[in-house]
Amino acid sequence: MIDRLDATPDCRHLIVEWEGGSTTQLAAETLRRKARDAYSRRALIDHGEIAVLPDLTITGLFQVGAAGVNVHFSDGHERAIYPFDYLRELSDRYGN
């Protein structure tokens, strides 16, 4: 499904290279706002949105099994796991 994941040189976007040759980029801000972990869901319930600091960057990418990636952000959030199917949904909706 995914051939390669990497951050752009400025770490503001995630580059997703899909099997078959297409590539999309997802902004760190989008990924942070669309995180589905318990902490992020609680923030949505309590505040109606996930607050994102200016100049948010990706600080780490860690494979989770064969079907997902854990993304760490410069705001200290390290709980966001994105199954590859969810990355496809986000790419189709928000990617460039």
How far apart are the C-alpha atoms of 49 and 92, rounded to whole Å?
21
Q: Is the pLDDT of residue 88 over 90?
A: yes
Q: At 30, which amino acid appears? A: T
Can you give the pTM of this predicted structure?
0.94
Q: What is the CATH number of the domain that holds 19?
A: 3.30.2020.30
19 neighbors 3 (Cβ within 8 angstroms): yes
- Across the chain, mean pLDDT equals 95
Q: For the residues 36-58, what does the mean pLDDT come to?
A: 94
Segments forming the whole domain that contains residue 61: 2-94
Q: Is the pLDDT of residue 6 over 90?
A: yes
Count of structural domains, the chain: 1
Q: How many CB atoms lie within 10 A of CB 81?
A: 16
pLDDT bin (cut points 50, 70, 90) of residue 15 is very high
